[in-house]
């Protein structure tokens, strides 16, 4: 039986932030702080790209700040798509939201992206949910209907 040899770093101090490097499960030495910053930046870049495919502003109120925007399933069927139909399936596959969902959309590609998604801000998404498809901002617009 062979054991995996862990690589030794040339230095245990990070050259970027002077933090301590640690061994990851993959066997590589990484600075946790720098790795976290890199991951956050790459996830934000992915989110901007996916949101640009859908317009980058809230369909209802026009909010454009990325911090407030979410992807909404027009027909409210996201739970089935992300997790499966039963509670047991949800437990077996918990990852299907946030950056994991953005990665799935990127994998599909721009030309084949799901058209039953829309960009809504948090307020409008909850307004749609509580108002049975109608947001208090614009009660005349049914957010459960796809745009032409």
Mean pLDDT by 10 residues, the chain (148 residues): 50 70 68 82 92 91 92 77 50 62 85 85 90 84 74
Report yes or no on 37 lying in a domain. Answer: yes
Separation CA 61–CA 70 (nearest Å) = 13
Report yes or no on 123 lying in a domain. Answer: no
Report yes or no on 143 lying in a domain. Answer: no
CB atoms within 10 A of CB 115: 10
Contact call for residues 102 and 46 (beta carbons, < 8 A): yes
CB atoms within 10 A of CB 14: 19
Domain extent at residue 26: 8-41
Report yes or no on 109 lying in a domain. Answer: no
Report yes or no on 15 lying in a domain. Answer: yes
Output the six-digit token pair for 65: 């700040």
pLDDT at residue number 87: 47
Contact call for residues 120 and 70 (beta carbons, < 8 A): yes
pLDDT at residue number 112: 82
Report yes or no on 18 lying in a domain. Answer: yes
Report yes or no on 105 lying in a domain. Answer: no
Query: What is the count of structural domains for the chain?
Result: 1
Report yes or no on 133 lying in a domain. Answer: no
Q: What is the pLDDT of residues 46-83, one digit of tens each?
A: 999 999 988 999 988 999 999 999 988 888 776 665 55
């Amino acid at each position: 039986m062979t054991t995996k040899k862990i690589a030794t770093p040339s230095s245990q101090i990070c050259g970027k932030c002077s933090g301590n490097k640690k061994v990851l499960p993959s066997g590589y030495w990484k600075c946790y702080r720098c790795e976290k910053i890199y991951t956050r930046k790459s996830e934000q870049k992915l989110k901007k790209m996916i949101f640009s495919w859908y317009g980058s502003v809230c369909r209802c109120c026009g909010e454009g700040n990325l911090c407030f925007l979410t992807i909404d399933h027009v027909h409210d069927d996201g739970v089935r798509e992300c997790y499966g139909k039963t509670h047991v399936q949800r437990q077996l596959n918990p990852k299907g939201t946030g950056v994991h969902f953005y990665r799935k959309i990127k994998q599909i590609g721009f030309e084949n992206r799901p058209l039953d998604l829309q960009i809504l801000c948090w307020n409008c998404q909850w307004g749609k949910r509580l108002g049975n498809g109608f947001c208090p901002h614009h009660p005349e617009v049914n957010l459960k209907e796809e745009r032409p």
